[in-house]
A and B are shown apart, each in its own frame.
Chain A
Amino acid sequence: DAGVTQSPTHLIKTRGQQVTLRCSPKSGHDTVSWYQQALGQGPQFIFQYYEEEERQRGNFPDRFSGHQFPNYSSELNVNALLLGDSALYLCASSFDPGPLGDTIYFGEGSWLTVV
């Protein structure tokens, strides 16, 4: 049973460019969340997708957008990249309406470096 998979693993972008990160949830999961983890910090919630809609959003600008596809996979898009966007981007999946304490599974993340 494949867990949460993310791609690409590492990428380098230039300021002002746009980036797309991809996530496939764990089999049987229908909810995908994205987190940003800056170096030496804890992950920060960006947003969550359920039934192809953004259900909840953290304190991130509109430059951060996403999408969920009918097969539950998801994309995170970041426009007009800033140096401060350099971070590890983590995807997490879960099943809704599972128990709210149900385990959330994380992928290994995508390392984004903006130069």
Chain B
Amino acid sequence: AQTVTQSQPEMSVQEAETVTLSCTYDTSESDYYLFWYKQPPSRQMILVIRQEAYKQQNATENRFSVNFQKAAKSFSLKISDSQLGDAAMYFCAYRGAYDQGGKLIFGQGTELSVKP
């Protein structure tokens, strides 16, 4: 069975600085998708960034980028120029490429606070 682990329950960053959130996963599948979701106090999950396992190039979305290390099964999220609105729970998630049901497996989450 696939598992996702986030070892940092809480992280803090100064506004305008850079922070990296860690995520490791375990799978025997060769093809899959990895995601970072943001969950603000409104509780709605918002997709931040997505990475296809077959792509070697790390995904980037504006201030958000990932460091995808397939061999190490590591998928970290880097937030540059942190803003107060980035404060939220961040979840790393896995989805098998051949899973027709599209089930997401989530980590435990990292609560990010941004200090002004």
Contacts and interface: CB of A to CB of B under 8 A. Distances in A.
**Interface size class of chain B, counting residues whose CB lies under 8 Å from the partner chain:** 20 to 34
Contact of A106 (B4, B45, B50): B45
A96 B44 contact: no
Contact of A56 (B43, B97, B103): B103
Interface of B: 4, 6, 33, 37, 42-47, 50, 52, 91, 95-109
Given A108-B42, A108-B44, A100 B97 contact: yes
Contact of B52 (A42, A48, A50, A101): A101
Q: How large is the interface on A (under 10, 10 to 19, 20 to 34, 35 or more residues)?
A: 20 to 34
A102 to B, nearest CB: 8
A56 B45 contact: no
B43 A109 contact: yes
B107 A48 contact: no
Contact of A43 (B52, B91, B100): B91
A68 to B, nearest CB: 13
A56 B96 CA distance: 13
Contacts of A80: none
